Chains A and B, each alone.
Chain A
Amino acid sequence: MSVTQNILFEPWLKKATDGLTRPVRERIRLEVEAHVADSVERHVEDGLSEIEALVATVSELGDAEAAARRFRRRYLTEKDAEHVKQTLLLFGGGINLIGSIFLDGVAVLELYLTARMGSGAMFNCIWAATVVLMVWTVSATTSWLLARRERFVRNTRWMMLFNLIDDACYFAITISLSAVIAAEMGWMGWLFCIPQNFMFLRRNRSIRVCFKLWRGSSRPDWELPALGKGYF
């Protein structure tokens, strides 16, 4: 590509691929560069100068921001990829393993207590809490196993889904506990929800990433090559 082509075409490409991961940017560059070269060639054959041909080509490509919005809806952005990486580290790490083992113990204890209890409102509450806790335990343990697998990239979809389930269980339990504490202590009990509020932005990104991965529009196998085999 000539210097003139670079000056006119590069800003369009930079804007259209802004925020996407490197493998995706490279693929789009490869395609659009060939497109621009073909288009310039045709315009030059039609009698335009090289600069006129390039201006016409970039104009035919249209609004770079519109293309960028559509690419970002389809692919993981760099921030999404970083989020997946952080989730992998969080879920594959020792703290999650310790947490899972602790949850397993609490869930078994709760199951035992639930089995020994009779009926009544408290029994129903504990039974519901046990179900949530069991789901939380299973999702935390499964996430740990998926995150530890060497070829984890193929399991990214499942790992992110279990991450969301895990988060939903944590949300349900903290809100319920806050409500119980608030009933005893007044509004101060709701301070227990503060960690959940801090996680709000993180959860939003998790939902967005999960949606991209499960809709089938994203291809984590080549969008996240750095997170593959031997990451740990």
Chain B
Amino acid sequence: MNFRGGLPALILQNLSGGPNHGYRIAQDIKSQSKGVLDFKEGTLYPTLHTLEGKGLIVSHTRTESGRTRCYYELTKKGKGMLAREREEWRRVSGAFNLILAT
């Protein structure tokens, strides 16, 4: 399913559960949406870096069993953005329901 523009909100939501790295974020989004939100994983990293540039998330590297991973964590600004994104989603999806459910 094409959900262009929605990936940043999904990433922020995923990170609200705690620090996570790119591969696991991608797998979490796919599994939680039961495969409906299937995206090309190569686009995940530019989005993560953009969110980091905006100060919504921060990164730090961690070495686990010989593999260096970059973990991302939500910032205070990111939490605020996530709350606004959720509110916006409720408003928009409510409006769609009103129209399409009839």
Q: Interface of A with B (CB < 8 Å)?
A: 12, 16, 27-28, 30-32, 34-35, 37-39, 60-64, 66-67, 70-71, 73-75, 215-219
Contacts and interface: CB of A to CB of B under 8 A. Distances in A.
Interface residue SS majority, chain B:
helix
B40 A30 contact: no
Contacts, number: 73
Interface string B23-65: 1101000000000000111110111011001110000010000
Contacts of B23: 34-35, 38-39
Contacts of B91: none
B69 interface: yes
Given A74-B53, A216-B53, A67 B68 contact: no
Interface string B61-89: 10000011110000000000000000000
Interface of B: 21-24, 26, 39-43, 45-47, 49-50, 53-55, 61, 67-70
Given A39-B23, A74-B53, A216-B55, A30 B42 contact: no
Contacts of B22: 31, 34-35
A30 B70 contact: yes
B50 A35 contact: no
17 contacts: A12-B42, A27-B70, A31-B45, A31-B69, A31-B70, A34-B70, A61-B42, A62-B40, A62-B42, A63-B40, A66-B42, A67-B42, A70-B43, A75-B49, A215-B53, A216-B53, A217-B54
Contacts of A30: 61, 68, 70
Given A28-B45, A66-B42, A216-B53, 7 more contacts: A30-B61, A34-B23, A38-B23, A60-B40, A60-B41, A71-B46, A74-B53
